[in-house]
């Protein structure tokens, strides 16, 4: 900075001095020369007049050629010039009676005798040397008796003038050195402070310093430091706001469940958030500055972008991403006029909504199926009884018993549906009390004892006596165990066994109902807790398909979780865990 400031000060001044030197050489010097010559001519004219008066006084006494010669010689020796006298009537009585015609070939002499004074310069032999010539009349008693010619030679630049010019050149050279010294001194005085301000600005940009030092000076450095200090404060405030806004924007963009993607006019990705990158299985950093087609690899979205660009309006479509098996709604919006040519894509994941729609359709289908079977049976039984069976009391009684059984199934289904609906909506408050796990298992086994004996099954209870009590709704959790035991009874052939156990695992008690039944196919294992879902082999068995769904909701209402493990033909095990400090 110091050298730069030095040259910025020195170079313009040095150039100005060089230009001044040229002006002296090519403008001032000729004018000074001309002025000097004109001044010399004026001085020589005065000298010539003085000599002319002296000559006229001496010619009063005698006038001869010898006298004129002596006068020319004497006056020429006294100065740096030559004197030539022209006295036409010298030696005659009337010196003033002059015939001018005899001077036709000497116009200057003729003009002088006529009363004119002539001052001029002449070039000598076509060279740069010049002569100054003065021609004036000589008066005697107010009569012109002749002419006096004064001639002197002069150099292109006389000595005094040359010395003056040389002095000017020396002064300019001295000024150049003075300028260099002053520029060095000025740069030495200002450069350190300017460099320090620049270093502080750089440190502030690199977040190593927050404010610029203010110099208590009244010159430009002090003014500069105050302005820069104020600018640094404003920039710091703006930077804080910018960082806060950017962090807010980044946080919102990152935590959005909807995907965001922005492309420019050429279809190059300029921004993509985490949700969008997860939907299309791409890295956020690798997606930037790549084409939309390359990143999304979906021709429907590409066509949507092209239509949005051409129509300049918001458009939307629903697409399925086969790679991730997700359904998304794509909304393309032109970002005019803020970002001309750019397009904003909003990706809304509709997979859960699609799944819920499938569940809703399945639920309606299952309810319809479960209701249609008993209602159809009731319709057939009623029609048969109405036509002829009512005449036979034994047959009529049998039909009525079957109708009663179907009605019981319908009532059970409706009750379970209402129960499940209340549990899912949270309208069933849990009446929590301290309950021992072993007591809970025993009550459930006692309730299912008759079904176990009817199915000719063996049941075993494995429960550690030192298990801590649980804060649970014992009636609801007993219902969970009853549902699981009932499920095992249905799918376990005679002579099979059911083992019910409870053990501690970290901060939870894990209950298990294990059977030696037919098992569950792997494709059905993940769906057995859905409403009305039944394994294909059980379609002919009794049951609504709601028991496991009710069990799942009750366990989750206690802050636990439920799952199943199974091997086909070898049996199944249903587990559920309840936290010791239940929520």
**Three-class SS string for 160-193?**
HHHHHHHHHHHHHHHHHHHHHHHHHHHHHHHHHH
For the cut 80, the answer to whether the pLDDT of residue 470 exceeds it is yes
Q: Which two tokens stand for residue 89?
A: 């009537």
Q: Which residues contact 31 (CB under 8 A, 6 or more apart)?
A: none
**What mean pLDDT do residues 396-415 have?**
72
**What mean pLDDT do residues 145-151 have?**
88
Domains in the chain: boundaries: 2-161, 210-252, 256-349, 355-423, 429-579
For the cut 90, the answer to whether the pLDDT of residue 582 exceeds it is no
Nearest to 276 by CA among 331, 314, 338, 313: 331
Nearest to 463 by CA among 497, 435, 492, 436: 436
Q: State pLDDT tens for residues 336-370.
A: 888 888 888 888 887 777 666 666 676 666 666 66
Q: Which two tokens stand for residue 447?
A: 């309730």
What is the spatial distance between Cα 287 and Cα 277, in angstroms, rounded to a whole number? 8
What is the spatial distance between Cα 71 and Cα 53, in angstroms, rounded to a whole number? 12
Nearest to 513 by CA among 528, 529, 496, 500: 500
For the cut 80, the answer to whether the pLDDT of residue 138 exceeds it is yes
Maximum alpha-carbon separation in the chain? 203
Q: Which two tokens stand for residue 345?
A: 């894509």
Q: Range with the lowest mean pLDDT among 24-28, 101-105, 248-252?
A: 24-28
Secondary structure class of 86 (helix, strand, coil): strand
- Residue with the larger pLDDT of the pair 137 and 293: 137
Q: Give the model's pLDDT for residue 4.
A: 59
DSSP string, 200-234: HHHHHHTTS-SSPPPP--SSHHHHHHHHHHHHHHH
So what CATH class is 429-579? Answer: alpha beta
Question: Which CATH number is 256-349's, of 3.30.450.20, 3.90.1150.10, 3.40.640.10, 2.40.50.140?
Answer: 3.30.450.20
Terminus-to-terminus CA distance in the chain, angstroms?
Answer: 71
Q: Range with the lowest mean pLDDT among 142-151, 233-242, 535-544?
A: 535-544
Average pLDDT value for the chain: 78
Q: Does domain 355-423 have CATH number 1.10.287.130?
A: yes
- Residue with the larger pLDDT of the pair 392 and 448: 448
Q: Give the model's pLDDT for residue 57.
A: 83
What interhelical angle do 29-59 and 65-77 show, nearest 10?
140
- Residue with the larger pLDDT of the pair 66 and 442: 442
Q: Give the model's pLDDT for residue 92.
A: 72
Rg value, the chain, Cα: 63
Nearest to 490 by CA among 526, 562, 454, 541: 541
DSSP string, 434-445: EE-HHHHHHHHH
Q: Give the model's pLDDT for residue 527.
A: 76
Q: Give the model's pLDDT for residue 540.
A: 42
Q: Give the model's pLDDT for residue 501.
A: 92
What region does 450 belong to: left with phi over 0, alpha with psi -120 to 50, or beta? alpha
For residue 331, give the DSSP letter. Answer: E
So what CATH class is 2-161? Answer: alpha beta
Q: What is the total residue count of the chain? A: 583
For residue 268, give the DSSP letter. Answer: B
For the cut 90, the answer to whether the pLDDT of residue 101 exceeds it is no
What interhelical angle do 351-387 and 393-425 show, nearest 10?
160
For the cut 60, the answer to whether the pLDDT of residue 539 exceeds it is no
Q: Tell me if domain 256-349 and domain 429-579 are identical in fold.
A: no
β-bridge mates for residue 480, sequence order: none
509 band by pLDDT with thresholds 50, 70 and 90: very high
Q: Give the model's pLDDT for residue 576.
A: 93
For the cut 70, the answer to whether the pLDDT of residue 392 exceeds it is no
Nearest to 486 by CA among 533, 519, 444: 444
Q: Give the model's pLDDT for residue 207.
A: 67
Q: Give the model's pLDDT for residue 537.
A: 44
For residue 291, give the DSSP letter. Answer: B
277 band by pLDDT with thresholds 50, 70 and 90: confident
Nearest to 87 by CA among 59, 127, 114, 48: 59
**What mean pLDDT do residues 547-572 have?**
86
567 band by pLDDT with thresholds 50, 70 and 90: confident
Q: Give the model's pLDDT for residue 189.
A: 66
Q: Which residues contact 390 (CB under 8 A, 6 or more apart)?
A: 396
β-bridge mates for residue 107, sequence order: none
For the cut 50, the answer to whether the pLDDT of residue 538 exceeds it is no
What is the spatial distance between Cα 490 and Cα 540, in angstroms, rounded to a whole number? 11
For the cut 80, the answer to whether the pLDDT of residue 17 exceeds it is no
Q: Judging by beta carbons within 10 Å of its beta carbon (0-12, 13-18, 19+), is residue 73 exposed, middle or buried? A: exposed
**What does pTM read for this prediction?**
0.41
For residue 96, give the DSSP letter. Answer: T
Q: Give the model's pLDDT for residue 73.
A: 86
**What mean pLDDT do residues 523-531 have?**
76
Q: Range with the lowest mean pLDDT among 68-82, 310-324, 357-371?
A: 357-371
Q: Give the model's pLDDT for residue 126.
A: 53
- Residue with the larger pLDDT of the pair 214 and 346: 346
Output the CA angle 572-575-580, nearest 5 degrees. 165
Contact indicator for 454, 486 with CB cutoff of 8 Å: no
For the cut 90, the answer to whether the pLDDT of residue 549 exceeds it is no
């Amino acid at each position: 900075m110091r050298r730069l400031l030095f040259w910025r000060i020195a170079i313009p001044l040095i150039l100005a001095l060089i230009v001044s030197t040229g002006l002296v050489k090519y403008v001032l010097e000729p004018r000074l020369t001309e002025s000097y010559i004109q001044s010399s001519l004026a001085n020589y004219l005065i000298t010539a007049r003085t000599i002319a008066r002296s000559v006229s006084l001496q010619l009063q006494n005698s006038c001869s050629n010898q006298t004129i010669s002596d006068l020319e010689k004497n006056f020429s020796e006294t100065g740096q010039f030559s004197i030539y006298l022209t006295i036409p009537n010298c030696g005659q009585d009337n010196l003033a009676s002059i015939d001018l015609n005899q001077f036709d070939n000497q116009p200057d002499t003729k003009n002088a005798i006529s009363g004119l004074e002539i001052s001029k310069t002449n070039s000598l032999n076509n060279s740069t040397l010049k002569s100054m010539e003065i021609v004036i009349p000589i008066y005697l008693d107010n009569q012109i008796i002749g002419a006096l010619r004064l001639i002197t030679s002069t150099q292109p630049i006389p000595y005094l003038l040359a010395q003056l010019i040389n002095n000017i050149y020396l002064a300019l050279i001295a000024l150049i050195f003075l300028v260099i010294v002053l520029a060095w001194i000025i740069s030495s005085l200002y450069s350190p402070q300017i460099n320090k301000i620049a270093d502080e600005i750089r440190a502030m940009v690199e977040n190593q310093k927050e404010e610029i030092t203010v110099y208590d000076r009244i010159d430009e450095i002090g003014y500069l430091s105050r302005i820069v200090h104020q600018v640094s404060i404003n920039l710091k405030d703006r930077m804080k706001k910018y960082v806060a806004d950017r962090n807010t924007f980044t946080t919102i963009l990152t935590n959005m469940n909807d995907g965001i993607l922005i492309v420019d006019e050429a279809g190059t990705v300029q921004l993509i958030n985490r949700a969008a990158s997860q939907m299309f299985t791409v890295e956020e950093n690798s997606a930037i500055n790549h084409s939309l087609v390359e990143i999304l690899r979906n021709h429907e979205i590409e066509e949507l972008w092209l239509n949005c660009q051409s129509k300049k309006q918001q458009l939307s479509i629903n697409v399925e991403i086969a790679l991730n098996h997700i359904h998304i709604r794509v909304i393309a919006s032109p970002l005019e006029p803020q970002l001309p040519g750019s397009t904003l894509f909003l990706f809304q994941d509709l997979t859960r909504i699609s799944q819920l729609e499938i569940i809703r359709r399945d639920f309606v289908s299952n309810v319809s199926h479960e209701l249609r079977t008993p209602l159809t049976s009731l319709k057939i039984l009623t029609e048969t009884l109405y036509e002829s069976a009512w005449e036979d009391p034994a047959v009529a009684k049998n039909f009525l018993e079957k109708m009663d059984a179907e009605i019981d199934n319908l009532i059970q289904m409706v009750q379970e549906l209402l129960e499940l609906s209340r549990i899912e909506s949270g309208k069933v408050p849990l009446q929590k009390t301290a309950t021992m796990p072993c007591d809970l298992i025993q009550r459930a086994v006692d309730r299912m004892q008759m079904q176990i004996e009817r199915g000719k099954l063996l049941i075993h209870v494995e429960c550690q006596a030192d298990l801590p009590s649980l804060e649970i709704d014992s009636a609801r959790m007993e219902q969970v165990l009853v549902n699981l035991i009932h499920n095992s009874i249905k799918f376990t052939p005679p002579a099979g066994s059911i083992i019910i156990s409870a053990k501690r695992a970290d901060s939870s008690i894990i209950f298990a109902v294990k059977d030696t039944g037919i098992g569950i196919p792997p494709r059905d294992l993940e769906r057995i807790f859905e409403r009305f879902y039944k394994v294909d082999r059980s379609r002919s068995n009794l049951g609504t398909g709601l028991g496991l769904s009710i069990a799942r909701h009750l366990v989750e209402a206690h802050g636990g979780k439920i799952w199943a493990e199974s091997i086909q033909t070898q049996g199944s095990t249903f587990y559920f865990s309840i936290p010791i400090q239940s929520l």
